A and B are shown apart, each in its own frame.
Chain A
Amino acid sequence: MTSSDNSSAPSFYAISSSARQLFLLLRCISFAPKAQVQITKEGIRLSAEDSRVMQGLAFLDKSLFSTYNYIPPRKSSHQATNDAGDDLESDDDELDLPPFQISLPALLETLQIFGFSETKDRWSSRDSPYAGGMNGAFPRAGSAAAFDTRVLGMTGVCRLSYSGIGEPLCIILEESGVTTTCKLVTYSPEAPEEIPLRRDRLAQKIIMRSSWLHDAINELSSTSPTRLTITASPTAPYFMLSSSGPLGSATVEFSKDPKLLETFQVNRRSVNTYKYSLIRATTKAMAIASKVSIRCDEQGVLSLQFMIEVEGGGVSFVDFRFVPFLPEEADEEAPDDEGGEESEEYDEDE
């Protein structure tokens, strides 16, 4: 694999010493059955979406891999025969590999095929609403069993490779002399439209510890709500999450205490309503992240950006975006699935 001249060489090839890290990051966006994969020079970008109103994006930076080898298809090189290069026209000399889709559950299943058995049990027992932010993401030397493969330094190796359109994503996992080769079918991509967040016209930007947001979201689940209302205001109550359900309503307010809200930039009061179950789908990320940045633009598009510290001291980010309910409807108990219209409406605005 050292020579890129070899025509049979995959255009993407990466080795990671820990499938677990990849697993933890990808699990955060496991709310959808399929993920769109875009391989770039900097890393692998996986995104998932739900009903066009929620998007999740996990970026596997190339620093997560011990070897990261990506040969972009060249338009006018000797590799022009490569399928990937044929139908793409660009002025750039280098082209990105076209994105593809992949079954997310299958990918996750593959990555944990050797089972993080001990750790997994720990997760499941701690996967309670109060699991806090520390589990899984950090090395826990004290709690690992004596013959844990990680302790013995026998952590498995995970190799990823992809050669181009129509080819499967190949994952080879090796652990203690056992090798598993998985080929995951890739699907043609869907319209890769991002939910646009207007970074230049942000209505709010709040950075806080992720576990507090996690706690608040769990608190609200007591009312079995369908909607979550996020209120941010330059005056008290500064930041408020509220929901209501058949048993009553619940509200969690945050003060402006810098210990609590590390960053608090709110120009004017904004009230937006989102579907609770979608926000709730990010709890896996909330649980393992250390910090979260909650941004919202003037149109109410919400961005939750989670900073996840991975083993080895690096930092990874998982991003989520949500389209709000239309404000006029915010007070009514409308059915939950008007998300489609809203995103259309939103697209028109854009």
Chain B
Amino acid sequence: MTFLSSTLTPDSVNKVHDAIICLAKFSESVYIEAHRHELILSTINTSKSAHASFVLNGGRFFTRYRYSPGISRGRPATDADERPFACRIYNKALLSVFKGRISDPKEKDTAVEKCEIALEDRPDKAECRLVIRMICMHGVVKTYKLTYEPAEAMHALFDDNAVVNRWQIQSRLLREFIDYFGPKTEQLDMYKENGRVTFTSYTEKITDGKEILKQPLQTSVAIDTLEFEDFSVEERLHIAISVKDFKAIVMHADTISTSVSARYSLPSRPLQITYEGDGMLCKYTLMTIGDYRASSTTPAPALSADGRLLTRDGSRMASVPVGAHSASSMPPPQRPASHKYASESFTQRTPRPSPPPPKASLDPESLFVPQDEDAEWDDYQRVDQSEDVLGWDASGDHHGVAMHFSNDERGTNESSQNPPNDSSTMRIAPTQRLSEVRGLFD
């Protein structure tokens, strides 16, 4: 029997509310995972490209927290019993329970004094419910019994060792920036050059024949790196995430006004945003994509530089294991995935006057492939080898290699679709420069 019992202060109730509002922006259900000393609320979006989790510390966030894992489920104790209890709840149900209670001064008389969350999962009881009791002034008690679905919680794996880029900034500043990002923009590009960081929210133009499906839109906000509390990011590295996710994160971070830190390695690798406050650790793992200008219609002079980025762009479809393909088939520059993607995008996107290119393009130096281009190739080999194949793991083992979201049930499925080739043996050394290859799918 699994048993959970905890008590929250009204303040914490509001924080839970803020958290589930944030989670609701990612997905319509919430995973609740109870550990011995913490309760985790998490969610993963439907495309499995963003994972958000809130770790509520048992001692600090709750006034009382007790959890005893199931030990007698009619079978001898196994490792499984040591696993945390996890379930999935429809977020709307939670939202209506935790809806803003203290915000309305008129409702002072019915303000919540404390909130108790209890859960009993017993095999002998058919009705399993998450019980939330709001104890209000004058002895009004509101009890909610919510249905839940047993589920394995998902964890995002993030390789801390791979992190080479990191920044940290006050949430208040980010909150000011997101106001400028157009509501219809989709991607957010981050780029650093000459001591300034440019956040560009953009939508690429997509046409289907003559019909314009999406109008291009781009907004850039540039800030000095001095505004950051900590800044260490590779120069001129473009990395993009979803604007919507970023906004959701910043909005929430602003509610606890703390400093937000982001850590990442390379485009198409996960990026992690974390912040902490009042016994709550908020962690978001987002899939990133490469430089967007590469595949769009940048003016010709930027060609070679873009060519370089284009290959990275091949792995733009984050869940496609590009590495596996490239090794066995062709000379590296003509990796099928990138080829296909690029040609698609070139036929679909009509040329447009490029938005005023950020500083990068103005710098003539950047138009050319750096001298140490071979190092770039090395880089790709490294990317290829450190398997880009999706791996799934519900064990919660955070030391797993590299990236991706994990889940046992999906694991077999995904990896059988994309069998990881033995890339190291099949590899052919790159022989051709990208800039030369470019003509093939222009």
Chain A residues within CB distance 8 Å of chain B: 130, 132-134, 209, 211-212, 215-216, 219, 221-223, 237, 246-257, 259-260
Residues of chain B within 8 A (CB-CB) of A253 are 139-143
Taking a contact as CB atoms under 8 Å apart, the answer to whether B145 and A249 are in contact is yes
The distance from the CB of A332 to the nearest CB of chain B, in whole angstroms, is 17
List residues of chain A with CB within 8 A of the CB of B106: 130, 132-134, 211
12 contacts between A and B (CB under 8 A): A134-B106, A215-B107, A216-B142, A222-B97, A222-B99, A222-B144, A223-B144, A247-B90, A247-B92, A248-B130, A253-B142, A254-B140
Chain B: which residue is nearest A212 at the CB level?
B110
- Residue pair B93, A260 in contact (C-beta under 8 Å): no
Interface: B25 (CB within 8 A): no
Contacts of A219 in B (CB 8 A): 142
**B140 & A250 in contact (Cβ 8 Å cutoff):** no
Bound CA–CA A272/B169 (angstroms) = 57
- A248 partner, pick from B99, B109, B138, B147, beta carbons under 8 A: B147
The reply to whether A248 and B140 contact each other, CB–CB distance below 8 Å, is no
- Give 1 or 0 for each of B121-143: 1 = CB within 8 Å of chain A CB: 00000000110000000111111
Nearest Cβ in chain B — how far from A129, in angstroms?
9
Given the interface contacts A222-B96, A247-B92, does A132 sit within 8 Å of B142 by beta carbon? no
Task: Check B104 for interface membership: any CB of A closer than 8 A.
Answer: yes
Is residue B146 contacting chain A, with contact meaning CB distance below 8 A? yes
Residues of B within 8 A of A254 (CB): 138-140
* Set B140, B142, B144, B145: member contacting A260, Cβ < 8 A: B140
Q: How distant is the Cα of A257 from the Cα of B141 in the complex, in angstroms?
A: 12
What is the distance, in angstroms, from A106's C-beta to the closest C-beta of chain B?
Answer: 33
Judge whether A249 and B144 touch: CB under 8 Å.
Answer: yes
Give the distance in Å from the alpha carbon of A326 to the alpha carbon of B145 in the complex: 25
How far is B142's CA from A223's CA once the two chains are assembled, in angstroms? 13
For residues 67 through 115 of chain B, which have their beta carbon under 8 Å from a beta carbon of chain A? 90, 92-93, 96-97, 99, 104, 106-107, 109-110
Residues of B within 8 A of A237 (CB): 141
Contacts A222-B96, A248-B147; is A255 near B139 (CB within 8 Å)? yes
Question: B residues 129-175 with Cβ under 8 Å of A?
Answer: 129-130, 138-147
- Report which B residues bind A (CB closer than 8 A): 90, 92-93, 96-97, 99, 104, 106-107, 109-110, 129-130, 138-147
Known A222-B93, A255-B139: A132·B107 in contact at CB below 8 Å = yes
Chain A residues near B142: list those with CB within 8 A. 216, 219, 250-253
* Bound-complex Cα distance A130 to B107 (A): 8
Other than the given A251-B143, A253-B142, 8 more pairs (CB < 8 A) read: A130-B104, A211-B107, A216-B142, A222-B144, A223-B144, A251-B144, A252-B141, A252-B142
CA distance A257 to B96 in the complex (A): 27
Q: How far is the CA of A249 from the CA of B106 in the complex (A)?
A: 26
Q: Report the Cα distance A27→B142, complex, angstroms.
A: 29
- Chain B contacts for A212, CB-based, 8 A: 109-110, 140
B110: chain A residues at CB < 8 Å are 211-212, 215
Across-interface contacts of A250 in B (CB, < 8 A): 142-145
Contacts of B130 in A (CB 8 A): 248
In the bound complex, CA of A222 to CA of B143 (Å): 12
Instruction: Provide the bound-state CA to CA distance between A223 and B92, in Å.
Output: 10
Chain A residues within 8 Å of B147, by CB? 246-248
> B221: shortest Cβ distance to chain A, in Å?
32
Minimum CB distance partner of B148 in chain A: A248
Cβ–Cβ contact A255 & B140, under 8 A: yes
Q: Is the CB of B143 within 8 A of A260?
A: no
Q: Could you tell me the distance between the alpha carbons of A83 and B409 in the complex, rounded to whole angstroms?
A: 81
Q: How far is the CB of B181 from chain A (nearest CB, A)?
A: 27
Across the interface, which residues of A come within 8 angstroms of B104, CB to CB?
130, 132
